Copies of this chain bind each other. A is one copy, B any other.
Amino acid sequence: MVDTRLQRPRGTRDYLPLDCFKRRVVIERIRSVFERFGYGEVLTPAFEHLELLEAKAGSEVREQIYWFEDKAGRKLGLRFEMTTPIARIVATMPHLPKPIRFYYIAPVWRYEEPQLGRLREFWQAGIELIGSPHVEADAEVIAVTWYSLRDVGLEDERIEVRFSSRALADRISDALNIPRELREDFYRYIDKYHRYGIEYVVKGLESLGISRENIEKVRELLMIEGSNEEKIELLDKLFGSTIRTELEKISTLLDLLKSYNVKNVVLDLSIVRGLAYYTGTVFEVYVKGQEDVGSIAGGGRYDDLIELVGGSNLPATGMAIGIERLIEVLERLGKLPTDYPRPVAAVVTPKMDLYSRCLEIANLLRQHGIPCIVDVMRRSLRANLEYAVKIGAKFLVIVGEKELKLGKVAVKNLTTGKQMEVSIHELPTFLKRDNVVL
């Protein structure tokens, strides 16, 4: 019988030191980009009142919220993203100068079927740019996303930004007479185009009772080929003045992204995003050749959310990068460190009555920023040597009576096997010489 206590909950992971180190490298590079764009970090509680989370999640996501009642009978839910909690903060702090630039790097939780690139607990690194209704804000958000992905090691030509506009999709849906009450489901099927293919979308739209003629039009729109300019021209021809404002915004956005030097931006009408709160520009980022992982970042404009959760009418736009998916891709592409910093030295002695000298010497090394360990097992010199090798320490510092009398210790290089005497006051410099130290 398997002991359930030993099992992690389904769809979750443990992160051991190498995993944590890789994550830290990735996260700190992303943080650096966010901060260079002027964003300040925020953090909210893991759980919120369920009512807040459900405000505009959309039915699909609402089903995925882990929720519970606390002992006072309040319904609380684990956050499934960070945008809604940040909307709550902004709604309660009307004095903050606009635009507000906030970033976060935090775990979120969704009760979904676990699969490649989809965990029930996963981390997002994202930004919210709040207060501007203009496409300049959308361009900035996409640029921050792009530079974040580039700075963690993805080559320019691998990063593909696929974008569209919810407002454009709404105007087109109006033109096709898609009933308003079907819109959420309509977009939900379209959103699955890249994951499940066109036939899945067609069947979904049939199940909604969309006419055969309209389904054909949707199929054509999803599969338009050509440059962004050609697509815009075709859409203008098909729908004319009803969508002209939206097409102009899209053209401006493309121009701005050129100035940002963001490459591979593709207009793609299948991009509508799963969350129901989007109102304008929407985008997803894929890594070419790694599309099976899904989009590694996504976002868009949500002009109604802050008012909806009780704040004033504040237009906003933002994005989130999926840390686990990004790490999966970076791992495959060999862009991550293959080891984490190990202790530089193990300070040991063959004579237990010299143990306190080991502690003092280890203290000295740590004062100089050198990670080191001492024996806590009362082991023999041989057993300590074996352990030091196993955990990847680079040196064994041996504290012996004879050497101590001369103010020295023996240092064994565990890579070369060479051993030499080093005076204690030169030990930090000696050990640092060939070691990158935290």
Which residues of A line the B interface, CB within 8 A? Answer: 3-10, 12-17, 19-21, 24, 32-33, 35-38, 40-49, 51-52, 55, 66-68, 70-72, 74, 76, 78, 85, 88-89, 91-92, 97-99, 101-102, 107, 109, 111, 121, 129, 131-132, 134, 136-137, 140, 147, 255-256, 258-261, 309-311, 340-341, 343, 355-356, 359-360, 363, 366, 369-378, 387, 390-391, 438
Contacts and interface: CB of A to CB of B under 8 A. Distances in A.
A12 B387 contact: no
B97 A391 contact: yes
Given A49-B5, A134-B378, A260-B363, A43 B68 contact: no
A6 B310 contact: yes
A129 B7 CA distance: 22
A8 B47 CA distance: 9
B356 A256 contact: yes
A428 to B, nearest CB: 12
Contact of A40 (B35, B340, B356): B340
B256 A38 contact: no
A125 B154 CA distance: 32
Nearest to A71: B111
Contact of A43 (B14, B102, B258, B438): B14
Interface core residue of A17, A111, A134 (most chain B CB under 10 Å): A17
A129 B6 contact: no
Top 9 nearest A-B pairs by Cβ distance?
A17-B40, A68-B68, A12-B45, A259-B356, A20-B41, A38-B373, A38-B343, A15-B43, A137-B376
Contact of A49 (B7, B92, B109): B7
Nearest to A374: B140
A49 to B, nearest CB: 5
B259 A46 contact: no
A211 to B, nearest CB: 36
B70 A43 contact: no
Given A9-B47, A36-B438, A356 B21 contact: no
A14 B45 contact: yes
A104 to B, nearest CB: 9
B255 A356 contact: yes
A369 B7 CA distance: 44
A372 B36 contact: yes
Given A5-B310, A370-B36, A121 B438 contact: no
Contacts of A370: 36
